[in-house]
């Protein structure tokens, strides 16, 4: 099937497969070189960047739809995924925008379920950067990581969806463990602290951080130190999977959020 045929098919018959009016969009976070990054698609016909997203099959849970999309874009399953907000502006996606897209793609369609209004549900995902093999979808030129402080221009309301995802991740960080999916299997305490500082966009006190994170019980020290470092060799730590999984259900103490978190405060 040619791309043009595929697009036409989706616009003309997609509603037989998917629910009308509802989509999901995924904000995929990765941590690398002390930077928090997000995975974006280059929407070929719009010349802008987009969050990976898609539609919900008629008998599919919304979480399953998000997982399917994540799997397609990253090659990974068993990703940590959190639904965070539904975006419902009636003008967030319009017939006009879709017709422009079709025109750029060389297709012409008069009526489509895609011209109707869409409410999109945002999910954020935390992934191991080193394990992701980014794969573009068929309407995108490429799939790339961006430093969250240097984001390119994005389509529709995707920048706002990203902002809300980051705000929610910061709030969640105070109640739920974060890190297992973002760090290597073993890590030093400074590496873990750097992850928290990068997400929260603020400095944390070293001793307080170590005391509080150890008090949660989700991290345990290994009997092994990091080699080839200039100063005193730091110990390696790892997550206690049993306690970590439990904390995902019940929450941990609110241990880093003492000061106000600024909205969109990057």
Residues that bind a copy of itself (CB under 8 A): 19-22, 56, 58-63, 83, 85-86, 88-90, 117, 119, 121, 171, 174-175, 247, 249-255, 257-263
Q: Between 22 and 109, whose beta carbon lies closer to a copy of itself? A: 22
Q: Between 48 and 201, whose beta carbon lies closer to a copy of itself? A: 201
Q: How far is 139 from 136, CA to CA, in rounded Å?
A: 8
Q: Between 56 and 154, whose beta carbon lies closer to a copy of itself? A: 56
Shortest Cβ 156–a copy of itself spacing (Å): 16
Shortest Cβ 224–a copy of itself spacing (Å): 30
Bridge pairing between strands 35-43 and 53-57: unpaired
Size (the chain), residues: 266
Shortest Cβ 253–a copy of itself spacing (Å): 5
Q: Between 61 and 241, whose beta carbon lies closer to a copy of itself? A: 61
Shortest Cβ 139–a copy of itself spacing (Å): 24
Q: Between 98 and 188, whose beta carbon lies closer to a copy of itself? A: 98
Q: Between 233 and 253, whose beta carbon lies closer to a copy of itself? A: 253
Q: Between 30 and 179, whose beta carbon lies closer to a copy of itself? A: 179
Contact 39, 52 (CB under 8 A): yes
Shortest Cβ 262–a copy of itself spacing (Å): 6
Shortest Cβ 108–a copy of itself spacing (Å): 25
Shortest Cβ 263–a copy of itself spacing (Å): 5
SS3 readout for the chain: CCHHHHHHHHHHHHHHCEEEEEEEEEEEEEEECCEEEEEEEEECCCCEEECCEEEEECCCCHHHHHHHHHHHHHCCCCCEEEEEEEECCCCCCCHHHHHHHHHHCCCCCCCCHHHCCCEEEEEEEEECHHHCCCCCCCCEEEEEEEECCCCCCECCCHHHHHHHHHHHHHHHCCCCCCCCCCCCCCEEHHHHHHHHHHHHCCCCCHHHHHHHHHHHCCEEEEEEECCCCCCCCCEEEEECHHHHHHHHHHCCCCCCCCCCCCCCCC
């Amino acid at each position: 099937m040619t791309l043009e045929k595929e697009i036409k098919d989706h616009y003309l018959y997609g509603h037989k497969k998917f629910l009308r009016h509802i989509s999901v969009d995924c904000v995929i976070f990765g941590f690398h070189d002390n930077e928090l990054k997000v995975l974006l698609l280059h929407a070929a016909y719009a010349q802008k960047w987009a969050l990976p997203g898609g539609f919900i099959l008629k008998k599919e849970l919304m979480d399953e739809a998000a997982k399917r999309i994540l799997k397609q874009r990253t090659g990974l399953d068993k990703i940590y995924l959190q639904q965070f907000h539904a975006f419902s502006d009636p003008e967030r996606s319009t017939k006009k925008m879709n017709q422009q897209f079709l025109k750029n793609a060389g297709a012409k369609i008069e009526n489509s379920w895609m011209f109707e209004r869409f409410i999109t549900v945002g999910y954020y995902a935390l992934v191991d950067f080193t394990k992701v093999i980014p794969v573009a979808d068929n309407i995108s030129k490429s799939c790339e990581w961006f430093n969250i402080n240097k984001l390119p221009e994005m389509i529709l309301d995707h920048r706002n969806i990203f902002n809300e995802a980051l705000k929610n991740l910061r709030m969640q960080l105070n109640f739920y463990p974060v890190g297992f999916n973002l760090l290597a299997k073993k890590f030093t305490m400074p590496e873990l602290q750097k992850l928290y500082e990068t997400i929260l966009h603020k400095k944390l006190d070293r001793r307080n951080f170590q005391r509080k994170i150890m008090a949660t019980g989700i991290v345990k020290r290994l009997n092994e130190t990091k080699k080839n470092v200039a100063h005193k060799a730091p110990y390696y730590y790892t997550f206690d999977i049993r306690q970590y999984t439990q904390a995902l259900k019940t929450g941990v103490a609110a241990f880093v959020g003492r000061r106000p978190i600024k909205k969109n405060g990057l």
